[in-house]
């Protein structure tokens, strides 16, 4: 049986850690690619990961390269390439630089892996996913932004901390763009099956929501010289697993929505069923008036970002 092949574009902290999680979970063979200017760094990181396999007991062929031909016929491609956020920098500040990077990467993916499912991780996430689909011309089910998995993980973490319970017993759902306008649905948040609205006061819940929205920025401030990578990489690996193992996970992802939620042709975070071939179904939820207003605000923020991006290209 042919093993799945996942190529990770960009071997910085997020890319290398995504490779680590994927290898440890034995999700198939892995190619780590970076630009020629990085020299032999992709080869070094891939060899280091390979040498860890006899200790951690995972079986995968891990290849480092600067040549896109080595990524040919990938089942999944994860785009982590791009400039990370630095202190004082918003995701929007990254737009100009990362649009050019994602355009170049997408052209190569189209050439070498025309049947791949693409997971976009670089920021500003929703706009970069939109650009990836524009350049590759792939159907919408095969271009997916990694945002909701990370955002829900942050919210679940904060809920578990607040309640003093295991993160395994917390559940959450978030919609909208990846950033300050994301929409955590309190009606879907629970701990051990108990709605969090019955366990945590509204004022404190809103503080946890605000911390979730600012989760990436909080880590940027703490690190001072970089941005989050363990959790973003784990989120990307979970999406890779759902695809290559056809797990049909019901999770929030940034996907192209047209009539769904009346979005009108933009990438936005919504619940989807993720499995073989990418997005198998978009789940439309009935939102209350408060949730609907917040969601529309988030969609408008994404639209503005995409319009700015299209002026660049």
Residue 179's pLDDT is 82
Task: Show the domain range for 78.
Answer: 5-145
Note whether residue 291 is domain-resident: yes
Residues 118 and 129 in one domain: yes
Q: Judge if 196 and 278 occupy the same domain.
A: yes
Identify the domain boundary among 87, 118, 145. 145
The pLDDT value given to residue 87: 64
Q: Are residues 168 and 296 in the same domain?
A: yes
Verify that 155 and 264 share a domain, yes or no. Answer: yes
Task: Return the pLDDT at 88.
Answer: 67
Q: Which of 85, 178, 249, 303 is catalytic?
A: 178
Residue 147: C-alpha distances to residues 9, 104, 141, 154, 238 (Å): 17, 22, 16, 11, 12
Same domain, 14 and 119: yes
* 153 in the same domain as 130: no
CATH of the domain at 10: 3.40.50.720
Distance CA(193)–CA(220), nearest Å, equals 33
Opening angle at CA 243, ends 238 and 247, nearest 5 = 80
Query: Residue 2: what pLDDT?
Result: 83
Q: 10 and 139 in one domain?
A: yes
CA angle (37 as vertex; 33, 42 as ends), nearest 5:
30
Alpha-carbon distance of 46 to 233, in angstroms, equals 16
pLDDT at 312: 86
What sign for the dihedral angle of Cα 45, 47, 53, 59? Answer: positive
What's the domain count of the chain?
2
In a domain, 120, yes or no: yes
Answer yes or no: is 134 within a domain: yes
Kindly report the CATH number assigned to the domain that includes residue 265: 3.90.110.10
pLDDT of residue 89: 64
Residue 32 lies in a domain: yes
User: Are residue 167 and residue 296 in the same domain, yes or no?
Assistant: yes
Q: How many residues does the chain have?
A: 313
Token pair 């948040």 is found at 189
Long-range contacts made by residues 220-229, C-beta under 8 angstroms, separation at least 24? 220/85, 220/86, 220/87, 220/89, 221/87, 224/87, 225/86, 226/13, 226/84, 226/86, 227/84, 227/85, 227/86, 229/12, 229/13, 229/14, 229/17
Instruction: Copy the structure tokens of residue 84.
Output: 């990370």
Q: What is the pLDDT of residue 242?
A: 98
What is the gyration radius of the CA atoms in the chain, in angstroms?
Answer: 19
DSSP string, 287-302: --HHHHHHHHHHHHHH
Asked which of 145, 173, 190 is the last residue of a domain, the reply is 145
Which of 109, 125, 145 finishes a domain?
145
Determine, yes or no, domain membership for 313: no
153 to 127, 161, 225: CA distances (angstroms): 22, 12, 23
User: Are 224 and 210 members of one domain?
Assistant: yes
Q: What is the pLDDT of residue 92?
A: 64
Query: Domain check: are 284 and 253 in the same one?
Result: yes
In a shared domain, residues 203 and 128: no
Is residue 20 flagged as an active site residue? no
pLDDT score for 192: 97
Cα dihedral angle (46, 49, 54, 56), rounded to 10 degrees? -150
Is 178 within a domain? yes
The alpha-helical segments, DSSP class H, found in the chain are 13-24, 41-56, 95-112, 125-136, 148-163, 202-213, 215-223, 230-244, 289-312
Distance CA 71, CA 81 (A): 15
pLDDT of 226 reads: 84
Q: What is the mean pLDDT of each run of 10 residues along the chain (313 residues)?
A: 93 97 98 94 97 96 98 98 73 82 98 98 94 98 96 97 98 92 93 97 96 92 91 98 98 97 97 98 94 95 93 84
> Are 139 and 179 in the same domain?
no
């Amino acid at each position: 049986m042919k093993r799945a092949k996942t190529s990770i574009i960009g071997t910085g902290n997020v890319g290398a850690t995504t490779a680590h999680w994927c290898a440890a979970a034995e999700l198939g063979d892995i190619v780590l690619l970076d630009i020629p200017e990085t020299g032999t760094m992709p080869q070094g990181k891939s060899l280091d990961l390979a040498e860890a396999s006899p200790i951690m007991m995972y079986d995968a062929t891990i290849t480092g390269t600067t040549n896109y031909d080595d990524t040919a016929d990938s089942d999944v491609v994860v785009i982590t390439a791009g400039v990370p956020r630095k202190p004082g920098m918003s995701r929007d500040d990254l737009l100009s630089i990362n649009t050019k990077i994602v355009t170049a990467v997408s052209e190569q993916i189209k050439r070498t892996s025309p049947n791949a499912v693409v997971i976009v991780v670089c920021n500003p996430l929703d706009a970069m996913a939109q650009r990836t689909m524009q350049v590759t011309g792939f159907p919408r089910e095969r271009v997916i932004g990694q945002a909701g998995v990370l955002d829900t993980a942050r919210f679940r973490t904060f809920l578990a901390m607040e309640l003093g319970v295991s993160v395994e017993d917390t559940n959450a759902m978030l919609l909208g763009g990846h950033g300050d306008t994301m929409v955590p649905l309190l009606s879907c948040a629970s701990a051990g099956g108990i709605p969090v609205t019955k366990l945590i006061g509204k004022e404190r819940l809103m503080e946890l929501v605000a911390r979730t929205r600012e989760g990436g920025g909080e880590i940027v401030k703490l690190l001072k010289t970089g941005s989050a990578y363990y959790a973003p990489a784990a989120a990307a690996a979970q999406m890779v697993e759902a695809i290559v193992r056809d797990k049909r996970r019901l999770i929030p992802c940034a996907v192209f929505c047209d009539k769904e939620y009346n979005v009108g042709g933009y990438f936005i975070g919504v619940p989807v069923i993720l499995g073989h071939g990418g997005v198998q179904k978009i789940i439309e939820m009935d939102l209350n008036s408060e949730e609907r207003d917040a969601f529309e605000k988030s969609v408008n923020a994404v639209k503005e970002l995409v319009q700015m991006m299209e002026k660049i290209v």
